[in-house]
Amino acid sequence: MTLADILSKEQIITELRATNRWEAIDELIDRLVVCGRIKPEHRDPIAAVVRKRETSMSTGIGFGIGIPHASTDLICEVVGAFGRSRQGVNFDALDNQPVNLVMLFLVPQGQFQKHLHTLANIAKLLHNKEFRRNLEAAPDAEHMFNIIKEHSLSK
């Protein structure tokens, strides 16, 4: 499963308003509700699961990347939202640097292998410096999604 399989241009926020990881997570979950990827009544329980996971260890993996994620029985397929912050988000990242690119994803409960593979694929893609630069320079969500599709194909 690639990043392009999980996202659509509607699930990309080009200018996150968040200043910390909790606000970024809320903003991305809200986008999933608006896009119809998660039910409004599931918003708070899903946010709680992601927050619980994030509290155990920050998913700010360095290089300006945050990948908050969790498993939940409130969805039946992998879903995600992507956000970009030009000013940077305090994510308590491993390298203590602000995060500019945040990829939130959710995996159905019990699909541990899919969860690990999805996380590994996203992390590998976001570790590509050229890919990150292209996303940071893209003028809008459509261009960002096209960059994600191109890089997902070239794997």
- So what's the pLDDT on residue 119? 85
Provide the CB-side half-sphere exposure for 26 (13 A, CA): 9
Q: Which tens digit of pLDDT belongs to each residue from 88-119?
A: 999 999 899 999 999 999 999 998 888 888 88
Q: Global pTM?
A: 0.94
Q: Which residues are catalytic?
A: 69
- Alpha-carbon distance of 69 to 144, in angstroms, equals 21
Q: Name the domain count of the chain.
A: 1
Please provide residue 144's backbone torsions phi and psi, each rounded to the nearest 5 degrees.
-60, -45
**At 33, which CATH number?**
3.40.930.10
Please provide residue 139's backbone torsions phi and psi, each rounded to the nearest 5 degrees.
-75, -25
**Tell me, what amino acid is at 84?**
R
- pLDDT tier at 27, thresholds 50, 70, 90: very high
Neighbours of 110 (CB within 10 A): 9
Residue span of the structural domain in which 12 resides: 3-153
